């Protein structure tokens, strides 16, 4: 006789199942990243064009969109274990896998172009340097608004340090501490704003580049994120919240 209660005897099995599920999710992300990067590498080798400049729109887009994607993945990883809604879990999983894979593609572009992954130029400069003509403050979640949607001073930290659609550190802290329906609603609101800005970025790069791989990925991003916005708006309505 072990002397342990049935509940205690079941603990290792529960931990083992959780570990297997977590390992399966990580393995899926790694597999998608590997496939996407390998495909892109071959695509890049076939591209005989000269690489873009370090200050060019393509390089700025690749760097800034990686940063944007990384936060979306972070928020999706926060909400996934908090919700029991299978649809919301699926949305979070799709964000994790697709945006990790796209980040891998953009990381590979910069390597193939012989450009550094970071730049001393301000974030989003490729959209406001006179070539794109975009008003950052007018973008969804742009630098003209604070995290709660109110207007921000042009010199305030909220206005000068955040990329469009990015959740603030306070937003992320609230998401980490929230539970249940409150966590779901907060995630959906933050991610809808995040996706809207991502779409604006994907649309902004299209008239600034003639590289097929950049155009293809930007169009795919815009289409996928618009579909996810519509799905998340429906999830908000199901929770009695207007999108």
Cα–Cα dist 163/94, whole Å = 23
Cα–Cα dist 81/100, whole Å = 18
Residue-wise pLDDT tens digits, 174-225 = 999 999 999 999 999 999 999 999 999 999 999 999 999 999 999 999 999 9
Residue-wise pLDDT tens digits, 112-152 = 999 999 999 999 999 886 444 444 444 544 433 334 443 33
DSSP 8-class letter at 139: S
Residue 157 confidence class, pLDDT cut points 50, 70, 90: very low
**Class of residue 94 by CB neighbours under 10 A (exposed 0-12, middle 13-18, buried 19+):** middle
- Predicted confidence at residue 25, as pLDDT, reads 53
CATH architecture of residue range(s) 6-238: Up-down Bundle (1.20)
- Predicted confidence at residue 62, as pLDDT, reads 98
pLDDT at 66 over 90: yes
Among left, alpha and beta (phi > 0; psi -120 to 50; other), residue 162 is: beta
- Between these two residues, 129 and 2, which has the higher pLDDT value? 129
DSSP 8-class letter at 224: H
**The tokens 């729109």 sit on which residue?**
57
**The tokens 């999710």 sit on which residue?**
25
| Arithmetic mean of pLDDT over the chain | 79
What single string gives the DSSP state of each residue in 10-34?
HHHHHHHHHHHHHHHHHHHHHHHHH
**Contact by Cβ (8 Å): 54, 116:** yes
- Predicted confidence at residue 198, as pLDDT, reads 97
pLDDT at 46 over 60: no
Q: What is the CA radius of gyration of the chain?
A: 20
Domain positions in the chain are 6-238
- Predicted confidence at residue 130, as pLDDT, reads 46
Q: Could you report how far apart the first and last alpha carbons of the chain are, in Å?
A: 57
Structure-block tokens of residue 108: 């590979």
Q: Count of residues for the chain?
A: 243
**Class of residue 25 by CB neighbours under 10 A (exposed 0-12, middle 13-18, buried 19+):** middle
Helix (H) / strand (E) element for 123: namely none
**Contact by Cβ (8 Å): 190, 175:** yes
What single string gives the DSSP state of each residue in 115-133?
--S--SSPTTHHHHSSSS-
Helices 169-177 and 180-205 cross at an angle (nearest 10°) of: 140
């Amino acid at each position: 006789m072990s002397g342990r209660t049935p509940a205690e005897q079941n603990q290792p099995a529960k931990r083992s199942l959780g570990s297997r599920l977590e390992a399966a999710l990580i393995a899926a992300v790694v597999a998608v990243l590997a496939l996407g990067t390998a495909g892109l590498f071959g695509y890049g080798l076939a591209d005989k064009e000269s690489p873009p400049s370090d200050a060019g729109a393509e390089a700025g887009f690749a760097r800034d969109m990686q940063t944007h994607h990384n936060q979306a993945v972070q928020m999706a990883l926060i909400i996934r274990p908090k919700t029991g809604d299978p649809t919301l879990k699926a949305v979070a999983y799709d964000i994790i896998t697709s945006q990790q894979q796209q980040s891998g593609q953009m990381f590979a572009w910069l390597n193939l172009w012989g450009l550094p992954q970071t730049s001393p130029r301000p974030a989003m400069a490729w959209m406001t340097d006179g070539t794109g003509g975009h008003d950052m403050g007018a973008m969804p979640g742009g630098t003209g608004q604070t995290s709660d949607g109110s207007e921000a001073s042009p010199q305030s930290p909220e206005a000068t340090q955040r990329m469009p659609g990015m959740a603030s550190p306070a937003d992320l802290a609230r998401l980490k501490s929230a539970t249940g329906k409150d966590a779901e609603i907060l995630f959906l609101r933050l991610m809808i704003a995040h996706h809207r800005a991502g779409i604006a970025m994907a649309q902004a790069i299209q008239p600034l580049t003639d590289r097929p791989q950049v155009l293809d990925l930007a169009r795919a991003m815009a289409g996928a994120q618009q579909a996810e916005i519509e799905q998340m708006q429906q999830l908000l309505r199901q929770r009695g919240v207007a999108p």
